[in-house]
Structure 1
Amino acid sequence: MKDNYIPLRVNRDFGGIVSVYFDFFKQNIKNFTNVFISYNGVFLIGLLITSYLLVSGFMGMIAQESGYNSFGGGNEFEQDYYIYLGIGGFLFVIIFLGIAFLNYSLSTSYLIKYVETRDNTVEKKEVWELAKSQFGNIFVFVLLLIPIYFVFIIAAIILAIIPILGIFAQYIVQFFLTAWVGVSFFDMLENKKGVTEALGEGWKLVTTNFWKSVGVNFIMGLLLGMLLIIALIVPGIIIGVYTFHVVENNVDYSHSIVSTIVYTLGTCIVLIIAVYGQCLTQFVNGVLYYALHEKTYNENTRATIEQIGQNE
């Protein structure tokens, strides 16, 4: 056992979960980022291509509306931006689903291996092997999320009709859903359960500790959101300054390679940070899962007591 290992199989209160998450985050951020980059290379290239298509499409649309023609080859090209937007939008959906599928698995597998090896230098191959071994269940899990989120959207629309209270209720349902899905996913990979069995166990753990689960996801979602905004400050300033330059100097952005590069890279960075933020959110539910599971079953506590008895 490494001296710097942070035990996660502990029954913690609300503040303890938040505190230990940031301790884990500081300790593992470098190693997990290496795992993230290693297995997301193809998807990151895909996001760059998608960003280019979306930016080209939007720039063409804006240029046409403002009197520029970025596709200056005659009438046959005047609607080309619709093609760029259509292809870019389609690729975005496919790639984003693939990234969600992969990174939900990687972040969960990483935390499981961290607990298993009691070491913050988790091998990326071990993370990948664990995720790969469960791809069948993961795929079914993702498919089941489609009707689950469809029901949530309907509920959110209904709640939005209710003044004030409906807004609060909508957020409560949202963070409950995030906790339930995240905890269930962890239970599925941790204990190699079937999808419906894991969803049932996750429902039990989260509903039994409803306000703790909702509160942790709310607070950590807020803090992580602020962290991601901070990460976007530098590229945001660069894009803002460049946009000001374009407007003030009446730059023909529809024919500018620099404009295309700046906005493409900016869009790609935003998408990558959003994907990375998804992994950090799943870490939250991993820490929450271990706390709720230990509170419910006391497995680690009983094992520690038995070990003490044997030593005596």
Structure 2
Amino acid sequence: MLIIIISMLNFAYPVLYLHFISKNPEANFTIKDITTALTKNTGRLLVFILGLVFIIFPLLMLLFTLLFLMIFIIIGLPLLLIAMPAVLAWINLSFYDYLTEKTGFFRAFKNGFLLLKQQFWTIVGTTFVMLMLIQIVQGIITMVPYFIGIIYFFSSGQTNMSDPESEGLATMGIFAAVIMILAVLLSYFFNNLVLINQGLIYYSLREENESTSLISNIDLIGADNE
């Protein structure tokens, strides 16, 4: 549970960072301000985690199980490729609304759904491309030390004949640990990139909605004068 909370705090950092930028375009804030905001929102983050795990995830498991079963009738595959980035965008947009607007859990997911529906194909397409690029880059980075380890394993086995098997296994164990740590660090880094991408979408949609609302209010003022 502690790892989940730490991970959620890590994910909340870029959300609050963009929130501070939106409130202070000149970046007139410090890391301490963001850390303080993280501390104050720990309780809300815990509520979001629990709601996500016990309410949202079970529903999503049913949805994706159905889509996986539909793969056998072909139509399930394109639906699955659409649903995955759509669900990710929905959760992230809801997370932004929940954390920055201080809305309730269910209200945040309702607002996130409305934002997603507002420009569905654009958001899904952007999120899909972002995920594909991240998977490619992360795969290339993690495979480099893997291949280096394999090459070293075979070369050391040929050059050192005293106990090549034990030394080779020890070396492979070290490389496996390095790859695992690297994969975890890259996962945190790229997840933050996804969150920043989703944050840009969130604030652009909000700006669009607020501009539309402002224009509507101006039109109403003109109508009242009549």
State the TM bucket, normalised to the shorter chain.
Answer: 0.7 to 0.9
Q: Which amino acid aligns with 2:100?
A: E
Residue in 2 that maps onto 1:177: 87
Residue in 1 that maps onto 2:221: none
Q: Is the 8 A contact 1:160 1:170 kept in 2?
A: yes
Asked if 1:212 corresponds to 2:122, the answer is yes
- Of residues 131, 140, 158, the one that matches 2:66 is 158
- Output one character per residue of 1:99-146: Cα deviation in whole Å (capped at 9) or x when no partner: 431221112111112222224686322221222221211111111111
Say which SS state the counterpart of residue 103 (structure 1) adopts. Answer: helix
Residue in 2 that maps onto 1:283: 196
Say which SS state the counterpart of residue 164 (structure 2) adopts. Answer: coil
Describe how 1:227-246 pairs up with structure 2 within 5 A.
Answer: 227-245=137-155
- Identity rate, percent: 23
Asked if 1:294 corresponds to 2:207, the answer is yes
- Of residues 35, 48, 51, the one that matches 1:141 is 48
Q: Would the alpha carbon gap of residues 265 and 291 (structure 1) be closer, same or farther in structure 2, given more than 3 Å must change?
A: same
Residue in 2 that maps onto 1:86: none
The TM-score normalised by the length of structure 2 is 0.79
Q: Is the 8 A contact 2:98 2:104 kept in 1?
A: yes
Deviation at 1:289, TM superposition (A): 0.4
Q: Is the 8 A contact 1:224 1:277 kept in 2?
A: yes
Q: Structure 1: which 5+ residue stretches go unaligned?
A: 1-93, 306-312
Measure the CA separation in 2 of the matches of 1:299 and 1:138.
31
Asked if 1:189 corresponds to 2:99, the answer is yes
Say which SS state the counterpart of residue 118 (structure 1) adopts. Answer: coil
- Output one character per residue of 1:166-206: Cα deviation in whole Å (capped at 9) or x when no partner: 01111212111111110111112221222222112111111
User: What is the alpha-carbon root mean square deviation over aligned residues?
Assistant: 2.8
Question: Which is further off, 112-121 or 282-291?
Answer: 112-121
Measure the CA separation in 2 of the matches of 1:236 and 1:264.
11
Q: Which amino acid aligns with 1:128?
A: T
Structure with more helix by fraction: 2
Q: Is the 8 A contact 2:142 2:179 kept in 1?
A: no
User: How many residue pairs align between the two structures?
Assistant: 210
Q: Would the alpha carbon gap of residues 216 and 301 (structure 1) be closer, same or farther in structure 2, given more than 3 Å must change?
A: farther
Describe how 1:1-312 pairs up with structure 2 within 5 A.
Answer: 94=1, 96-119=3-26, 123-146=30-53, 147-162=55-70, 163-245=73-155, 251-253=164-166, 257-298=170-211
Q: Would the alpha carbon gap of residues 299 and 208 (structure 1) be closer, same or farther in structure 2, given more than 3 Å must change?
A: closer
Q: Is the 8 A contact 1:180 1:203 kept in 2?
A: yes
Which structure has more RCO (C-alpha within 8 Å, separation ≥ 6)?
Answer: 1
Q: Which amino acid aligns with 1:268?
A: I
Say which SS state the counterpart of residue 252 (structure 1) adopts. Answer: helix
Q: Would the alpha carbon gap of residues 259 and 236 (structure 1) be closer, same or farther in structure 2, given more than 3 Å must change?
A: closer
Measure the CA separation in 1 of the matches of 2:9 and 2:213.
30
Q: Would the alpha carbon gap of residues 252 and 174 (structure 1) be closer, same or farther in structure 2, given more than 3 Å must change?
A: same
Measure the CA separation in 2 of the matches of 1:154 and 1:254.
47
Q: Structure 2: which 5+ residue stretches go unaligned?
A: 219-226
Q: Is the 8 A contact 2:153 2:168 kept in 1?
A: no
